[in-house]
């Protein structure tokens, strides 16, 4: 959008889906902000705003006013990885301290598990438990009470509210029971032993454990970005004043001459000026085979030089490099949100206040109808309800799956613009493949020959190539290239004459050679056999008829041939239940021939370049969910019109702005891989949301005491905390399964007979 700036903010203090929703609403209320997406898993906010009406400072202040911390992310400030490491270290320290102190409280509070505790007087046990639990509450547990203070000031509620109120209630009751037992109803001195320091301390510890495991797992989910960022070398070797000088890579500027030795990474993007080598470009193309590089070849920063040394001239540095662009694409995708997340957001907005209401109703019900003494079981059930119902799992269900899914795709050279694209891609019904440059190689090449009787194929190709050598036409280049590949002589043409639209005529070795159409041969009184070249034409090729001194030598087929993987890619798409359509400007006959060779039965032919958009619109109007696959340049309007635009681009043309999915490896099988990944990601998101909602639907009534009347079962607060921690970790762990999901078609099973036949062969 014109006049709009995109910025990413690091947000601190968020602990659940209610928090991320509150931050998003606060940012959205800033005048000039056009879009905001808050990612709970990454603790970031991606904001689009009009710089004439809003500033990063105003956006950060709005977040702080909502009770959270915010800072604009820049490359010069603390990196996301550094911030995550710092926060993880702090969380680990708090967890270790809480666990060490809570272990002592747990032993003292569970004499039926530890019989030796019975020898310690109850009053002593209570005082020692108080001494151990108090630091847990107000040192590792301070973050919850700080969050409670913030929510009270803002008249809101979140996970901190639930944990702080729940543990605070248990701790307060236990403190009163320890030092002023007569102040409690039914208490007196007889009930001074009923304390729940172990519950309050263990809840803090288990919630911290859940957060630690959750953050550790989400760190694994976002490791694709860290892996990409780690590819950029820190140093570069420049040629200055005739000598090599090593400098920090961020000091390289366009125009610098850079030296790369065997085994080193290329520091920035550039063009080779001298030397030759093979470079591993798998980070940007997904292609495992190294690419040969020589003078004039482009090299990409972060790729690995394998064998020889070379020098190159820097063309793109810093944030302008291909690697930096890829990192931005992946970060934006991981920070996005899928539309399916809106359900969880709507629930989270009212969830915490509703849980507080359920907790108060539970407390009242136990006080009115519970067994004597009523206060202790009422309070424990109240605490259990608050603790078990944390909405963390709902907030993590979608973003963690998107992080893992887009990260897995990036490792394969497939760049997805975000969660909305993944959600749309899994609903696709039709894939439209542009022919030239997408389904085919995009260049003319030799595709076969039909020599006349008594003429060898090499003789036919040599004669045609010699006549075509002076021509600059792509068809001529294809014939000459094939002759050179075969090691045939192609020089010696004299009196060359190009006849536009018909062919060429030249003298080769003193003989008159004509290469072209049947009409051209007829003009020169040369009779070609009936049907000459028809077999090649039926394959969608351009037939070149060749004669020498009036004798017909045969026909050569030249055309834009299918990519090697095209048939396999089409079969894979159709095997997934997708309809495949070929879109081309070719005549019907030629189009049908190419489509038949690729295994496509739906063809839209004779479509002019400006008619591709209308063709896609007609398919969508018919109710089909359409992916358009093109080269990312000429097909840009159609890519933008389709439900999902997929661009096949070169490794250095990463910014295919019109596409939703970019395939950096020129391999059509990536289309099916992207669709298969989207289906797997959406399946995981649905599983996550189901279990998050199911967990709360079942857990809250049990915590409230629904099983007590029939079975006498209640849920202790510490077990409620354990269940809550497990729910968040299970959602993240389920998302991590996407790193192992199969994204290629399963091998076909052979029947016993087929296997036996293959073995005997």
Cis omega (within 30 of 0) for bond into 373: yes
The HSE-up count of residue 139 (CA atoms within 13 Å, CB side) is 18
Task: Identify the DSSP state of 435.
Answer: I
Helix and strand numbers (H, E) in the chain are: 26, 26
Q: Is beta strand 542-548 parallel, antiparallel or unpaired with respect to 551-559? A: antiparallel
For residue 566, give both structure tokens: 């095209």
Task: Identify the DSSP state of 647.
Answer: E
Which is nearest to 335 in space by CA: 112, 573, 54, 39? 39
| Residue written as token pair 């809550």 | 724
CA angle 505, 510, 512 (to 5 degrees): 25
Distances from the Cα of 89 to the Cαs of 93, 212, 216, 247, 669, in angstroms? Answer: 6, 10, 11, 33, 43
Q: Is beta strand 44-49 parallel, antiparallel or unpaired with respect to 5-12? A: antiparallel
Please, which contacts does 708-717 make with residues 24 or more away whose CB atoms are closer than 8 Å? 714/377, 714/380, 714/381, 714/384, 715/381, 715/384, 715/388, 716/199, 716/380, 716/384, 717/166, 717/170, 717/196, 717/199, 717/200, 717/202, 717/203, 717/380, 717/383, 717/384, 717/387
Distance CA 488, CA 490 (A): 6
Which is nearest to 293 in space by CA: 317, 316, 269? 269
Structural contact between residues 169 and 383, judged by C-beta atoms closer than 8 angstroms: yes
Catalytic, 434? Answer yes
Distance CA 126, CA 123 (A): 5
Distance CA 27, CA 44 (A): 12
Q: Which residues of 447-471 are buried (b: 16+ CB within 10 A; e: fewer)?
A: bbbbbbeebeeebbbbbbbbbbbbb
Structural contact between residues 12 and 43, judged by C-beta atoms closer than 8 angstroms: yes
| Residue written as token pair 């662009």 | 325
Catalytic position from the list 94, 158, 256, 434: 434
535 class by beta-carbon count within 10 Å (0-12 exposed, 13-18 middle, 19+ buried):
middle
Distance CA 584, CA 566 (A): 15
CA angle 315, 318, 323 (to 5 degrees): 85
| Cα dihedral: 612, 613, 614, 619 (round 10) | 90
Distance CA 645, CA 432 (A): 10
Which is nearest to 205 in space by CA: 195, 216, 213? 213
What is the sign, positive or negative, of the torsion defined by CA atoms of 54, 56, 59, 61? Answer: negative
Distance CA 717, CA 380 (A): 6
For residue 516, give both structure tokens: 């072209």
Distance CA 410, CA 331 (A): 11
**CA 704 to chain CA centroid, nearest Å:** 40
What is the sign, positive or negative, of the torsion defined by CA atoms of 312, 314, 317, 323? Answer: negative
Q: Is beta strand 269-275 parallel, antiparallel or unpaired with respect to 310-316? A: antiparallel
**Residues involved in catalysis:** 434
């Amino acid at each position: 959008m014109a006049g709009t700036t995109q910025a990413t903010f690091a947000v601190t203090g968020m602990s659940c889906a209610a928090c991320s929703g509150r931050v998003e609403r606060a940012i959205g209320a800033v005048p000039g902000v056009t879009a905001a997406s808050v990612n709970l898993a990454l603790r970031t906010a991606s904001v689009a705003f009009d710089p004439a009406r809003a500033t990063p400072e105003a956006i950060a202040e709005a977040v702080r006013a909502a009770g959270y911390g915010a800072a604009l992310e820049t490359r010069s400030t603390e990196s996301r990885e550094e911030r995550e490491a710092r926060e993880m270290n702090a969380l680990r320290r708090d967890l270790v301290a809480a666990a060490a102190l809570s272990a002592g409280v747990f032993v003292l509070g569970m004499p039926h598990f530890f019989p030796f505790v019975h020898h310690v007087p109850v009053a002593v046990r209570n005082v020692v438990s108080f001494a151990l639990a108090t630091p847990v509450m107000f040192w590792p547990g301070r973050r919850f009470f700080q969050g409670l203070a913030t929510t009270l000031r803002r008249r809101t509620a979140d996970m901190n509210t639930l944990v702080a109120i729940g543990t605070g209630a248990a701790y307060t009751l236990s403190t009163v029971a320890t030092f002023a037992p007569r102040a409690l109803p039914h208490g007196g001195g007889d009930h001074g032993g009923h304390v729940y320091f172990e519950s309050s301390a263990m809840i803090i510890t288990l919630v911290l454990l859940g957060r630690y495991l959750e953050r550790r797992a989400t760190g694994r989910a976002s490791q694709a970005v860290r892996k990409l960022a780690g590819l950029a070398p820190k140093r570069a070797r420049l040629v200055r004043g005739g000598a090599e000088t090593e400098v920090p890579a961020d000091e390289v500027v366009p125009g610098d001459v850079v030296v790369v030795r065997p085994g080193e990474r290329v520091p920035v993007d550039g063009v080779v000026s001298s030397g030759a080598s093979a470079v591993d470009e798998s980070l940007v193309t997904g292609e495992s085979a190294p690419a040969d590089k020589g003078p004039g070849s482009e090299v990409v920063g972060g790729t690995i030089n394998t064998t020889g040394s070379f020098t190159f001239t820097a063309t793109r540095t810093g944030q302008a490099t291909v690697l930096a662009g890829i990192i931005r694409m992946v970060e934006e995708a991981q920070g996005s949100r899928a539309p399916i997340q809106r359900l969880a957001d709507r629930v989270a907005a009212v969830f915490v206040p509703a849980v507080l209401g359920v907790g108060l109703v539970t407390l009242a019900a136990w006080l009115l109808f519970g067994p004597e003494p009523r206060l202790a079981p009422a309070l424990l059930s109240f605490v259990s309800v608050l603790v078990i119902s944390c909405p963390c799992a709902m907030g993590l269900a979608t973003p963690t799956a998107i992080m893992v899914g887009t990260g897995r795709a990036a490792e394969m050279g497939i760049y997805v613009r975000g969660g909305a694209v993944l959600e749309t891609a899994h609903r696709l019904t039709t894939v439209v493949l542009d022919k030239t440059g997408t389904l085919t190689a995009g260049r003319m090449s030799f595709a076969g020959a039909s020599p006349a009787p008594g003429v060898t194929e090499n003789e036919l190709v040599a004669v045609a190539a010699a006549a075509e050598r002076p021509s600059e036409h792509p068809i001529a280049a294809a014939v000459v290239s094939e002759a050179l590949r075969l090691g045939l002589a192609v020089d010696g043409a004299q009196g060359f004459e190009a006849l536009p639209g018909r062919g060429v005529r030249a003298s080769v070795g003193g003989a008159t050679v004509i290469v072209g159409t049947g009409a051209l041969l007829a003009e020169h009184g040369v009779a070609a056999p009936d049907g000459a070249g028809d077999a090649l034409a039926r394959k969608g090729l351009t037939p070149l008829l060749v004669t020498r001194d009036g004798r017909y030598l045969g026909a050569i087929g030249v055309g834009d041939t299918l990519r090697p993987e095209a048939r396999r890619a089409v079969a894979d798409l159709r095997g997934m239940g997708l309809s495949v359509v070929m879109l081309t400007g070719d005549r019907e006959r030629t189009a049908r021939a190419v489509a038949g060779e690729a295994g496509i039965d739906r063809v839209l032919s004779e479509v002019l370049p400006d008619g591709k958009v209308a063709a896609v619109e007609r398919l969508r109007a018919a109710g089909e969910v359409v992916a358009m696959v093109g080269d990312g340049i000429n097909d840009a309007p159609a890519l933008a019109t389709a439900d999902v635009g997929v661009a096949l681009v070169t490794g250095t043309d990463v910014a295919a702005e019109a596409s939703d999915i970019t395939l950096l490896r020129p391999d059509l099988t990536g289309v099916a891989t992207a669709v298969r990944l989207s289906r797997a990601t959406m399946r995981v998101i649905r599983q996550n949301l189901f279990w998050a909602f199911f967990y709360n639907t079942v857990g809250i009534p049990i915590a409230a005491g629904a099983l007590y009347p029939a079975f006498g079962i209640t849920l202790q607060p510490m077990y409620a905390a354990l269940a809550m921690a497990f729910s968040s970790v299970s959602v993240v762990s389920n998302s991590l399964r996407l790193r192992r999901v199969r994204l290629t078609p399963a091998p076909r099973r052979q029947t016993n007979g087929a296997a036996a036949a293959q073995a005997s062969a």
